[in-house]
């Protein structure tokens, strides 16, 4: 899933923002997304948070949660968002956050979003939706790539890239040979690992 | 003023409309003219009284009150009758006389071989309306455009309330039609007949229409234009029917005419976003349509210039 351009409303008419025009609407978009993160978080809290935690069996595990809705913990082990309007609001919000990185290449603005505590709280829900997770992961990857490459420290870039490669392989259900990891110690000397990691 | 070239709004060339024919119309020249609101007031009195009468009283009341409304097309004759019907819960049966055959009025002759006579079988509508429990009003629209034989049958029915096996004497009968000067295939009504009717001659009235349009919530541009036309000098000399607003000029190049009914249509078109020159001219005709379109565009431009641009980000609620 790839994000769509962000819409701003000019006299109530939706206008998809082009890369060239981002600067023109920057403050409206950033203020708007920040306010929306807070709104979605507070509304989710008000709507889905229970005063006491309950324990839920998922397969062979027991999960303790203080949610009374929003997420559905299926006994089969599947977890999904059970409120369609909430899912749409999340998709719309994370579309725009991901678009900051993937369409408009706004690293600083994306970082400022990542530093918002409410956003991290919402990631619990994002993780329950595969399409949202894919989109947000792509945006994070793009963010890390663009910031690390700016450092000029090639060893650090190599190291982080190989860690991401490992994580993606595991996420895609493939095993990963640890000897492929490129790691360096404090003195900059290569560190070799052996063994194999299997996906969950 | 008739047929003169005039310069309308924003330099639009307008050809004048022929209004002064009112004075020379052989049917209505002598009759006092009333506005739609005045007609509505009068009919309101008649309808409200009718609604409170029993059968015998209704018969006596309606016997003296066959009504005929003359007026140009599209000014709301039928609308007034129908809306009063709704107001007083009176059943208004409307017949478009111009589309009817004489046999639909007086019935179809059918031989009774046994008695060696002819029976008249009435049209189904007359029979079914007899079962109606509510007070009845029969409204015969476009009456003077009907074929002469149909008209003759209708006039008897309206005046006497009876024709053959049809009996509508308990109900109020109202006829309506256009004037000869309206360029339709109108037959002149003879004086002996005309004198038996209560005749109202209705003329369009822009002020009446503006208050009606506001009450009905028509599109604001259509109302503002009518107010604008009213506030500017009338081109035809009659302040109540400025020709940029009401125009049934026979020289109009398109078949469309600017009438109150057409303005209601323009309101609907603007509301649904159909506001091109073609849409407007299709409803109003070329000359009034061009004048309105030109005013409407400059109004939109003016508003867009003065409007502060509002830019916002809208998040989705849940």
HEC profile for A93-152?
Answer: HHHHHHHHHHCCCCHHHHHHHHCCHHHHHHHHHHCCCHHHHHHHHHHHHHHHHHHHHHHC
Nearest-neighbour CA in chain A from B308: distance (Å): 9
Task: Name which of A29-38, A170-179, B133-142, B177-186 the model is least confident about.
Answer: B177-186
Checking if the pLDDT of B231 tops 90, the result is no
Helix, strand, coil share of chain A (percent; to 5): 55, 20, 25
- Cβ within 8 Å of residue B114, ≥6 positions away: none
Q: Do B315 and A40 touch (CB under 8 A)?
A: yes
Please give the mean pLDDT across all residues of chain B: 80
Share of chain B above pLDDT 90, in %: 24
- pLDDT tens-digit readout, A127-154: 888 899 999 999 998 988 888 777 778 8
pLDDT on residue B26: 54
pLDDT on residue B7: 37
**Tokens, residue B286:** 């070329």
pLDDT on residue B186: 66
Checking if the pLDDT of B191 tops 90, the result is no
- Cβ within 8 Å of residue B315, ≥6 positions away: A32, A33, A35, A36, A39, A40, A89, A92, A93
CB count in 10 Å sphere of residue B275:
18
Task: Pick A12 or B55 by higher pLDDT.
Answer: A12
Checking if the pLDDT of B233 tops 70, the result is no
Q: What span, in angstroms and rounded, lies between the C-alpha atoms of A47 and B6? A: 68
Compute the average pLDDT of residues B212-226: 94
* Among the partner residues B307, B309, B315, nearest to A39 by beta-carbon distance: B315
ipTM of this predicted structure: 0.78
The residue to which tokens 């000359």 are assigned = B287
Compute the average pLDDT of residues B152-164: 81
pLDDT on residue B153: 84
Helix (H) or strand (E) holding A80, with range, is: strand A79-81
Q: What span, in angstroms and rounded, lies between the C-alpha atoms of B66 and B172? A: 7
* Among the partner residues A25, A36, A40, nearest to B311 by beta-carbon distance: A25
pLDDT on residue B242: 64
pLDDT on residue B8: 36
Checking if the pLDDT of A78 tops 90, the result is no
3-state secondary structure (DSSP) of residue B162: strand
For residue B5, the cross-strand partners are B15
Residue A42 touches partner B, C-beta closer than 8 Å: no
pLDDT on residue A104: 95
Q: Vertex B259, ends B255 and B264: CA angle to 5°?
A: 110
Give residue B250's pLDDT band: very low, low, confident or very high (50, 70, 90): low
Closest CA to A142 of A174, A167, A111: A111
Q: What span, in angstroms and rounded, lies between the C-alpha atoms of B20 and B256? A: 21
Answer for the pair B36, B76: CB distance below 8 angstroms, yes or no.
yes
Q: Do A32 and B314 touch (CB under 8 A)?
A: yes
Compute the average pLDDT of residues B192-220: 85
pTM above 0.80, yes or no: no
Q: What span, in angstroms and rounded, lies between the C-alpha atoms of B231 and B244? A: 12
Answer for the pair B204, B243: CB distance below 8 angstroms, yes or no.
no
* Among the partner residues A25, A83, A89, nearest to B317 by beta-carbon distance: A89
Contacts of B304 in chain A (CB under 8 A): none
Closest CA to B226 of B296, B164, B171: B296
For residue B167, the cross-strand partners are B162
pLDDT on residue B25: 55
Task: Name which of A112-116, B239-243, B271-275 the model is least confident about.
Answer: B239-243
Contacts of B306 in chain A (CB under 8 A): none
The residue to which tokens 């500017």 are assigned = B232
Checking if the pLDDT of B6 tops 80, the result is no
3-state secondary structure (DSSP) of residue B174: strand
Checking if the pLDDT of B23 tops 50, the result is no
Compute the average pLDDT of residues B12-30: 46
Q: Which 3-state string (H, E, C) describes B108-148?
A: EEEEECCCCEEEEECCHHHHHHCCCCCCEEEEEECHHHCCH
Q: Do B307 and A11 touch (CB under 8 A)?
A: yes
- N-to-C CA span, chain B: 64
Q: What is the gyration radius of the CA atoms in chain A, in angstroms? A: 20
3-state secondary structure (DSSP) of residue A83: coil
Q: What span, in angstroms and rounded, lies between the C-alpha atoms of B249 and B258? A: 9
Please give the mean pLDDT across all residues of chain A: 88
């Amino acid at each position: 899933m790839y994000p769509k351009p962000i819409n701003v409303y000019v006299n109530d008419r939706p206008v998809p923002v082009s890369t060239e025009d981002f600067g023109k609407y920057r403050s409206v978009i950033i203020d708007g997304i920040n306010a929306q993160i807070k709104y979605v978080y507070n509304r989710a809290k008000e709507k889905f948070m229970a005063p006491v935690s309950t324990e839920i069996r998922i397969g062979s595990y027991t999960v303790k949660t203080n949610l009374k809705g929003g997420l559905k913990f299926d006994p089969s082990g599947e977890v999904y968002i059970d409120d369609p309007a909430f899912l749409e609001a999340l998709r719309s919000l994370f579309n725009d956050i991901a678009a900051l990185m993937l369409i408009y290449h706004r690293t600083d603005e994306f970082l400022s979003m990542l530093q918002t505590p409410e956003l991290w709280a919402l990631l619990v829900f994002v993780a329950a939706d595969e399409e949202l997770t894919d989109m947000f992961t792509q945006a994070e990857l793009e963010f890390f790539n663009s910031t690390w490459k700016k450092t000029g420290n090639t060893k650090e870039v190599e190291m982080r890239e190989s860690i991401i490669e490992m994580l993606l392989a595991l996420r895609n259900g493939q095993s990963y040979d640890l000897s492929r990891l490129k790691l360096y110690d404090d003195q900059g000397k290569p560190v070799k690992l052996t063994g194999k990691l299997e996906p969950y | 003023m008739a047929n003169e070239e005039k310069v309308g709004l924003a330099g639009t060339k307008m050809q004048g409309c022929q209004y002064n024919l009112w004075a020379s119309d052989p049917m209505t020249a002598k009759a006092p003219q009333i506005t739609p609101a005045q007609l509505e007031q009068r009919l309101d009195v008649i309808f409200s009284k009718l609604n409170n009468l029993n059968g015998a009283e209704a018969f006596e009341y309606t016997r003296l009150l066959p009504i005929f409304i003359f007026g140009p097309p599209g000014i709301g004759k039928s609308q007034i009758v129908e809306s009063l019907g709704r107001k007083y819960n009176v059943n208004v049966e409307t017949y478009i006389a111009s589309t009817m055959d004489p046999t639909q009025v007086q019935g179809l002759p059918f031989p009774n071989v046994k008695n060696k006579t002819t029976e008249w079988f009435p049209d189904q509508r007359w029979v079914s309306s007899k079962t109606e429990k509510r007070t009845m009003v029969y409204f015969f629209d476009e009456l003077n455009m009907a074929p002469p034989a149909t008209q003759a049958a209708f006039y008897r029915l309206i005046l006497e309330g009876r024709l053959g096996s049809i009996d509508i004497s308990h109900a109020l009968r109202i006829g309506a039609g256009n004037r000869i000067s309206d360029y339709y295939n109108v037959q002149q009504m003879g004086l002996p007949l005309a004198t038996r009717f209560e005749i109202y001659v209705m003329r369009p009235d822009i002020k009446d229409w503006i208050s009606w349009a506001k009450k009905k919530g028509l599109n604001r541009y259509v109302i503002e234009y009518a107010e604008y036309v009213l506030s500017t000098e009338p081109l035809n000399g009659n302040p109540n029917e400025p020709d940029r607003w009401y125009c049934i000029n026979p020289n109009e190049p398109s078949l469309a005419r600017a009438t109150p009914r057409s303005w209601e249509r323009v309101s609907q078109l603007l509301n649904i976003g159909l506001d091109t020159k073609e849409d407007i001219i299709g409803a109003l005709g070329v000359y009034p349509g061009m004048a309105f379109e030109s005013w409407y565009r400059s109004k939109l431009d003016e508003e867009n210039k003065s409007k502060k641009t509002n830019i916002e980000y809208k998040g989705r609620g849940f």
